[in-house]
């Protein structure tokens, strides 16, 4: 589950494995890309598939050509001599499975089709949306040092102009459907069935907590008097 309720409420986003296991596994919370993929990296290495490279990317979804910060994280791993790109942290529209870390190879995942293409010095992950190839994010295929991951996470979670501070983002992915909710002054629900066209629905901010519980499985979200969405703090179950 993708959600940014920590950063949008001024709380730090911690990436140590113990905290991630407690939050994402024990408390069944969601998180954003740095959290999901750093936990996946730890799990893959525990399974003997390491070392796993971490890379930083610039999200291109909804872009107008302007430069964007390195605020997305993905993984590269090697299994039986072949390299793969793994990413479980891109909102509601990301990969279902790893894709080959090879330019031009199309990967059909239950009807969702992805590929990796070149764009100058960057590699770009694309998906077929509404009948056309769409850029998801671009990255230079060079492993990022831990300090760069820490700084990018800190920027994403704390900069006053970061969309993860000023807005709410929620995503849920299943084999047959992609759900993404953007919350600005009001909510904007984007629903895309596999092989079908996107449907966009405006949602009043007051209805967002109920929508998150019903469609995203995120229960306990409240709308405060300050207009911010937050989650009733839970303990491990």
Residues 6 and 170: their CA atoms lie apart, in Å, by 12
Does position 66 have pLDDT exceeding 60, yes or no?
A: yes
Does position 198 have pLDDT exceeding 60, yes or no?
A: yes
Q: Is 196 helix (H, G, I), strand (E, B) or coil?
A: coil
Confidence of residue 226 (pLDDT cuts 50, 70, 90): confident
Confidence of residue 166 (pLDDT cuts 50, 70, 90): very high
- Among all residues, which ones are annotated catalytic? 33, 72, 87
Burial of 148 (0-12, 13-18, 19+ CB in 10 A): middle
Sign of CA dihedral 161, 10, 136, 123: positive
**CA-wise closest residue to 221 among 50, 88, 212, 82:** 212
Average pLDDT over residues 73-96: 92
Residues 90 and 98: their CA atoms lie apart, in Å, by 13
Look-up of token digits 């969405």: 229
Does position 136 have pLDDT exceeding 90, yes or no?
A: yes
pLDDT at 237: 44
**b/e per residue 207-222 (b: at least 16 CB within 10 A):** ebbebbeeebebeebe
Q: Do you find a cis peptide bond into 107, omega within 30 degrees of 0? A: no
What would the CATH number be for the domain defined by 2-231? 3.30.2140.20
Q: Where are the domains of the chain?
A: 2-231
Return the percent helix, strand and coil in the chain, to nearest 5.
Answer: 25, 35, 40
Confidence of residue 62 (pLDDT cuts 50, 70, 90): confident
pTM of the full structure: 0.92
């Amino acid at each position: 589950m993708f959600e940014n309720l920590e950063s949008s409420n001024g709380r730090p986003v911690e990436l140590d494995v113990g905290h991630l296991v407690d939050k994402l596994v024990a408390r069944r919370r969601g998180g954003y890309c740095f959290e999901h993929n750093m936990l996946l990296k730890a799990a893959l290495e525990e399974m003997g598939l390491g070392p796993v490279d971490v890379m930083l990317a610039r999200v291109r979804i909804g872009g107008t050509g302007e430069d964007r910060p390195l605020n997305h994280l993905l993984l590269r791993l090697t299994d039986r001599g072949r390299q793969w790109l793994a990413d479980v942290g891109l909102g509601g529209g990301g990969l279902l499975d790893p894709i080959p870390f090879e330019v031009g190879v199309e990967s059909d995942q239950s009807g969702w089709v992805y590929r990796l293409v070149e764009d100058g010095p960057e590699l770009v992950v694309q998906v077929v949306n509404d009948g056309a190839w769409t850029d998801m994010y671009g990255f230079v295929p060079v492993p990022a040092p831990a300090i760069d991951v820490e700084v990018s996470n800190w920027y994403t979670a704390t900069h006053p102009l970061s969309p993860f501070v000023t807005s709410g983002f929620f995503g849920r992915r299943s084999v047959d459907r992609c759900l993404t909710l953007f919350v600005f002054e009001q909510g904007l629900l984007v629903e895309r069935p596999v092989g079908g066209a996107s449907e966009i629905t405006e949602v009043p901010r007051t209805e967002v907590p109920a929508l998150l519980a019903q469609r995203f499985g995120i229960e306990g979200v409240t709308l405060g008097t300050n207009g911010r969405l937050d989650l009733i703090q839970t303990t491990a179950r």
